[in-house]
Amino acid sequence: MQLPPLSLYIHIPWCIQKCPYCDFNSHAVKQGIPEQEYISHLLDDLMQDLSWVQHRTIQSIFIGGGTPSVFTAAGIARLLAGVRSCVQLADGCEVTMEANPGTFEAERFAGYVAAGVTRFSIGVQSFQQTQLTALGRIHSSTEAIQAAQLAAKLPLHSFNLDLMHGLPGQTVAAAIADLQQAIALEPPHLSWYQLTIEPNTAFASRPPVLPEDELLWEIQEQGHQLLLANGYQQYETSAYAKPDHPCQHNLNYWRFGDYLGIGCGAHGKITLPEKQAVLRTTKIKHPKGYMDLSRPYLDEQRLVGADELPFEFFMNRFRLLEPCPIDDFTARTGLPVESVSAALHQASKLALIKQDMKHWQVTSKGARYLNDLLSLFI
C-alpha cells in the first residue's frame, strides 16, 4: 500500500433555502450565518487532522455545500489564508468553490478569485423557469446566463456548469434545449446528470412525475452526441470537459486518492500504510453540534475492512472512462490482484470490461450497466 495524492474538502452547510431534491447536509438560513465563528472552527478542525497529512502537499481544494457563496469574499480569503498557514499547497493547486447563480455578484466573485479560488462550479440545473421553480431554485434563467458570462470573464483556470436532465415532465426537446444553452455559454466543464429521487428529501415524500425510461435513454444518447460534437470529452459517468479541463479534485476521488474532510458532516478518506488500512472519517453533522466547544469535531471513524476495499476501489475507479492501471489496485488497497481475479474474469466474460497486461478498461456496455459491474465486487 502506498500513500496516494491528498486533497481537502471544506463543507459550508448554509443555503438561502433547501431544494426539494437535495440530500446533502445543508440548512436554510434563518437567523443569519455565523461566518467568522464557523471559519475559526474549520481551521481548528483542520489543525486536528494534520497528522493525517503525512508530509504530503494538498493537490486540490473543494469548497462545497450548501451554498459556499453565501460567505463573503473576505471570509473566503481568511479561510484560504488559514488553510495555507496549516498545510502546503502543491504548485497549481486547484481551488474550486460551489456557487449558485442567485448569489453570483461581480464584485464578490472577483474577491473570491483574489482570495485564491481558481475554479467555480455553478449550480444552474436548468435554464427553464418552470423547471427552476419546480426544483426550488432561487435564481432565474437570466441570472444563470449572466453568472456563466461573468465567470468566463474572470481570471479563472476553469468553471463548471451543473445541469440536470430527466426533470419533472421534461421532454427530450426541452432537455436538449437546456444543454444547448449551456454549451453556448462555453464552459470548460459541464456536469450533466440525471435527477434522482433520494431518501429523506421533499421529493421523496411527494414524488414528482419523471420521464419514462425510454425518454431518459433518448435524452442521454442525444445529449452525449451533442456534447461530443461540441468538443467535450466524457471522462466520468456524468462529467464532460474540454481538453485539459477535467475537475482535478473529482479525479482524485475517482482514482481512490485521499482527502481530508473538514466542516459539518464532511467525509474524509485517509490511507494508513503502516496499518495496511484505509480510514473513513465523518465530522459532526449539525452546525450547532459542530461548533460546540465541549465536543470534538470528529463524529465517527472506521477502518475499511479488506472485504470491503475491492468494492470501494472499483466503485470509484470504474466511474472514470480512462484506463485503470492494474498496479493501482494493490497500491491503493494493499490487496493482491488475485483477490479480485474471479470477479474481473466474470466482468470480462460479460463484456463489461476489457483488460491488457497493464490496464483495466470499462467498456461502453460496462459504463451503461455500471451497477451490474460493481455488484461483482460485493
The per-residue pLDDT for 54 is 96
Tell me, what DSSP letter sits at residue 101?
G
In this structure, what DSSP letter does residue 320 have? B
**CA 276, 332, 317, 161 torsion-angle sign:** positive
Integer Cα distance of 241 and 245 in angstroms: 6
Cell numbers 485517509 correspond to what residue? 270
C-alpha of 299 from chain center: 22
Distance separating alpha carbons of residues 174 and 134, to the nearest angstrom: 15
Residue 17 has a pLDDT of: 80
Cα-based torsion angle of the residue sequence 156, 12, 81, 159 in order, rounded to the nearest 10 degrees = -10
Single out the residue of 350, 247, 281 nearest to residue 48, CA to CA: 281
pTM: 0.95
159 vs 151: CA distance, rounded Å: 7
Using CA atoms, how far apart are residues 139 and 146, in angstroms rounded to an integer?
11
pLDDT of residue 21: 81
How many residues are present in the chain?
A: 378
Neighbours of 109 (CB within 10 A): 23
Helices of type H across the chain? 35-48, 73-86, 106-115, 129-134, 141-153, 172-184, 202-205, 213-229, 248-254, 287-290, 309-317, 326-333, 341-349, 364-368, 370-375
Phi and psi (nearest 5°) for 100?
-105, 140
Beta-carbon contacts of 196 under 8 Å, excluding residues fewer than 6 positions away, are: none
Cα four-point dihedral sign 166, 377, 317, 263: positive
Q: How far apart are CA 194 and CA 215, in angstroms?
A: 12
Q: What is the DSSP letter of 88?
A: P
How far is Cα 176 from Cα 182, in angstroms, rounded to an integer?
10
CA distance 11 to 82: 15
What is the CA angle 172-176-179, rounded to 5? 150
Hunting for cell 504548485 — which residue is that? Answer: 91
- Domains of the chain, start order: 6-252 (3.80.30.20), 306-378 (1.10.10.920)
pLDDT in single tens digits along all 378 residues of the chain: 999 999 999 999 998 887 888 778 888 887 889 999 999 999 999 999 999 999 999 999 999 998 999 999 999 999 999 999 999 999 999 999 999 888 777 788 999 999 999 999 999 999 999 998 888 888 889 999 999 999 999 999 999 999 999 999 999 999 999 999 999 999 999 999 999 989 988 888 888 999 999 999 999 999 999 999 999 999 999 999 999 999 999 999 999 999 999 999 999 999 999 999 999 999 999 999 999 988 899 999 999 999 999 999 999 999 999 999 999 999 999 999 999 999 999 999 999 999 999 999 999 999 999 999 999 999
Query: Would you give the end-to-end CA distance of the chain in angstroms?
Result: 21
